[in-house]
């Protein structure tokens, strides 16, 4: 695999520097004084990772292809503005009058996978399905099963690819704030249902019923960003040629 390492390092360095600035902003709660805005930093970080991933993807290696999304759902709306509307099934709270008063998601905190399986270990609940124009396959919408229990805002969209590869185009939005899944072992795997959308929280973590508060849902913004970079770094490492780069060389040195 031939990789333009210099270009990668430059792009990662830009991302690191921007991340540091953003981290300082978040830590010190420095208000935007006109020098650098949070939005600019976020955009720069995203573009930096885009550049890296484009270089990596150009190597055409591996079964799994992960690229950032730049063309999906461009909007200035924030997911935080989505009103909390509980399911009619629970009967806890139904803001019927506000139905549809939601905002489309930002594209910045999203990523794409093309994979032969839609299973990722997390428990997802399907909340919608749409026929998409010029596509034979419907798009399915999933949210984290722990959305109500832990306030986890992770979402994903799954659509079968048009070709005959039996692969799926998966778009993830947001990051899990619920407990991570138990790594699959040979013993555990056969206990999981076939469809990830039917994986219940008990399959993932049976202890949740006893201690629903042990989820770490109150992550600080700085920690959330660090988690994002950790995930991306693991992705880079999996490609193979960056094994000689340590995490400390990339992030938060």
Partner DNA sequence: TCCATTTGACCATT
Partner DNA sequence: AATGGTCAAATGGA
Beta bridge partners of 67: 112
Dihedral sign of CA atoms 121, 235, 138, 145 in order: positive
Stretch of 13-21, 31-39, 98-106, 234-242 lying at the interface with DNA (CB under 7 A): 98-106
Region of 94 on the Ramachandran plot (φ > 0 left; ψ -120 to 50 alpha; else beta) = beta
> Given the complex with DNA, which of 173 and 229 has the nearer CB atom?
173
**Spatial distance between the Cα atoms of 63 and 249, rounded to a whole number of angstroms:** 27
Cβ-contact 45, 18 below 8 angstroms: yes
72 contributes a contact to DNA by CB under 7 A: yes
Cβ-contact 243, 237 below 8 angstroms: yes
Cβ-contact 181, 121 below 8 angstroms: yes
104 contributes a contact to DNA by CB under 7 A: yes
> Given the complex with DNA, which of 82 and 228 has the nearer CB atom?
82
> Given the complex with DNA, which of 19 and 178 has the nearer CB atom?
178
**Spatial distance between the Cα atoms of 104 and 97, rounded to a whole number of angstroms:** 19
CB of 204 to DNA, least distance (A): 10
**Spatial distance between the Cα atoms of 154 and 19, rounded to a whole number of angstroms:** 22
Site string for DNA, 135-164 (x = CB under 7 A): ----x-x---x---------x-x-------
According to CB under 7 A, which one of 70, 87, 117, 220 is a site residue for DNA? 87
Report how many helices (DSSP H) and strands (DSSP E) the chain contains, helices first. 7, 6
Site string for DNA, 3-42 (x = CB under 7 A): ----------------------------------------
According to CB under 7 A, which one of 55, 85, 114, 228 is a site residue for DNA? 85
According to CB under 7 A, which one of 13, 24, 64, 86 is a site residue for DNA? 86
Q: Which two tokens stand for residue 170?
A: 């998966």
Site string for DNA, 180-209 (x = CB under 7 A): ---------------x-xx-xx--------
**Spatial distance between the Cα atoms of 162 and 167, rounded to a whole number of angstroms:** 9
90 contributes a contact to DNA by CB under 7 A: yes
**Spatial distance between the Cα atoms of 175 and 103, rounded to a whole number of angstroms:** 18
Binding residues (CB under 7 A) for DNA: these are 72-75, 77, 82, 85-90, 94-96, 98-105, 123-130, 132-133, 139, 141, 145, 155, 157, 195, 197-198, 200-201
């Amino acid at each position: 695999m031939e990789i333009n390492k210099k270009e990668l390092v430059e792009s990662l360095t830009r991302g690191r520097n921007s991340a540091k600035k953003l981290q300082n902003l978040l830590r010190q709660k420095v208000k935007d004084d006109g020098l650098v805005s949070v939005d600019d930093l976020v955009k720069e970080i995203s573009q930096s990772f885009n550049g890296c991933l484009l270089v990596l993807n150009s190597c055409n290696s591996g079964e799994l292809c992960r690229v950032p999304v730049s063309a999906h759902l461009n909007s200035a709306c924030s997911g935080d503005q989505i009103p909390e509307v509980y399911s009619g099934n629970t009967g806890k709270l139904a803001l019927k009058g506000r139905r549809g008063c939601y905002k489309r998601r930002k594209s910045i905190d999203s990523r794409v996978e093309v994979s032969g399986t839609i299973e990722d270990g997390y428990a997802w609940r399907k909340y919608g399905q749409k026929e998409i124009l010029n596509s034979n396959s419907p798009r399915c919408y999933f949210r984290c099963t722990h959305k109500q229990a832990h306030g986890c805002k992770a979402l994903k969209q799954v659509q079968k690819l048009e070709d005959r590869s039996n692969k799926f185009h998966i778009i993830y939005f947001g990051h899990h704030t619920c407990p991570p899944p138990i790594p699959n072992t040979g013993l555990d795997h056969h206990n999981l249902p076939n469809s990830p959308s039917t994986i219940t929280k008990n399959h993932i973590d049976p202890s949740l019923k006893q201690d629903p508060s042990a989820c770490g849902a109150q992550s600080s913004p700085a920690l959330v960003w660090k988690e994002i970079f950790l995930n991306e770094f693991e992705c880079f490492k999996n490609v193979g040629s960056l094994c000689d780069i340590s995490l400390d060389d990339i992030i938060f040195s």
